[in-house]
Structure 1
Amino acid sequence: MTGMALLVCCGWTVLLCLSVQAYENLALHQPAWQSSTWRSYTGADLAVDGRYTDLVWNGGQCAMSIHGQTAAEWKVDLGAVRSIHHVVIQYMTENEVWDEDNWFTSTFLGFSVYMSNTTNKEDGVLCFRDTNYTGATLPNPVNITCPYHGRYVIYYNNRTHPPYPEGYSTYTYSDLCEVEVYGCPSPGYYGENCSLECPQNCQNGYCNIVEGTCFGCTHRYIGPRCQENLALHQPAWQSSTYFYYTADRAVDGQYTDLAWNGGQCAASDGGQTTAEWRVDLGGVRSIHHIVIQYMTGNIVWGGDTLPLRLNFTS
């Protein structure tokens, strides 16, 4: 292929630019579990029963773990992977004023909240970990923003690596009177009242519950909203053609074989001093960015500064 091709394109992609809301409490009456239970009337399910008017340990409305533990964990199963916006935790108070003199602040300090697709918190994402609150500043209830997807919401606290800051208890507890998990019942929707559909090319149908941006994209789509490739299968032209390596091969959606004779790349004729290629989008379009995949001959791309896939933002 001596003297071959000033313009050789294996792919040309043109992509389209593109308060607290009324979310549902997805945790209400869902199955819950805790690492230990103080008494039969302090079970994990009491933290998702919708009742939290009596915040004492024996009021029948709060979950409570066994005393003297160095770690405490509580979780709720939302029944399926859900799109979450925020989590609200109401901690036990003994119906007393919530301030630094309330003993329960010392057991609440240092807590974490996770979102996971499994019962293991380590498989999920950390929504929040308290490292700054004191007994005087710790809110109750506490509202935690957690714009992720998952099936299990997990509360965790520990006292396994002393010393701890002033105001922390020696042991830890999960004395939870209510845990509310607000979000959309279906992961394919976002926005107020969960009425807007996620962009169709979001991976697994998931998108940010507030903005609708995708966490990942299906094949050949990129960008915050996995926009449509406007160039795909559109009419293309080039100033010269080397054998049968026509312009349309750069917009056919194929670029797994980047050799000159792989049938997936456009190529101009050799010996030219200029080369031009263009695609007709079929109308005036609003463009966000353009991606160009150049031919490599299926050899390692050795350019130190020139990227193999060029991404141009318009």
Structure 2
Amino acid sequence: MLQVCFILTTLITAYGYVNLALNKPTWQSQQHNPGYSTFDSSNAVDGLMTDLSALGGQCSISADEYKTATWWVNLTSIRSIHDIRIYYRTGNVAWGCIKTGYYGKNCSISCSRNCKHSYCQANTGACLQCKSGFHGHQCELQCEGGRYGQDCKETCGACLGYKQCHHINGSCLEGCDAGYEGQLCKTSCSARKFGFDCQKNCNEHCKVPYKCNKGTGECEDGCQPGWEGPRCEQDHYTTDIMNMTTVTNTKEVDGWMEALEKGNDCMVRFYGILAAFCVSLTVIIVLAVYICIKRRRKQRQDRKCFKDNFKPDTGRMGLNNISAKITEDNKTYEELGQRTLPSEYEIIQKLS
């Protein structure tokens, strides 16, 4: 008696395994109690394995008293098969590793923590199914290549710089690219908004006010009369003034260059004479300042010399001695004390 549940698996786009035999056409040579769906060959590929008893209706059971039995499944196309898994009827009695989450000899090796519900194959440790965000034989790999979620089937949104989103929940870790918003960056900017995280406003001067490209902000239908530019931000009047100024400045520069090329001797001579005059004037001013400083310094020295020689506190005797010296120089012999003495002003005048 053949009593099995049968699974064929293949690797799909490197993200997870699928059951190729699931609900495909089946046939068996001798069915136990023909006509009863409880024992039908299709039970082997229905994907159910919660009740592996004889009457559970989830296993294909062949007739008694036959040494051989034949069963097959038609995959309906040529496929690449990763492995073949056969689950026997157990009568719901534990077999293999009794303790969930372990595999190998003596069931001493822990299944991968990324195996969903900690279920793995008793001999190889291959996960029967991966947790969301993982793939691989033992679910050791995170989703990548712009995928996330259960069996890596979900597609990431417009994450900034087209970077990988979170492998489990799909959130964009560094924000959205231009034109998108939301945690998953799958929502286009709302009306009148554009740019990164939809932070900028479309221009009111677009032909259809505030209607622009969600990524670049360019007005999609052109500009209103009097405005121009990709975003309709420049009015014609300002543009014309800028163009005129540019042309005028260009002509002035060209004129100066032409004059220099022709050798304007008068202008060269004028600037040469002006430069020589400025240099001469500077030299004269420096010399004048120098002479004034020298004179003032000489006057200060003379005043200091006079103060050192003339001391007002010498008293009356000092004046009499000066008077006697003056009288001697004039060869005038008069009796001291009877000649009228010169004033202090006259004395100072003679000494100076």
TM-score, normalized by length of structure 1?
Answer: 0.27
TM-score, normalized by length of structure 2?
Answer: 0.24
Q: Which has the higher helix share?
A: 2
Larger Rg: 2
Q: Which has the higher contact order (CA 8 A, sep 6+)?
A: 1
Q: Which has the higher strand share?
A: 1
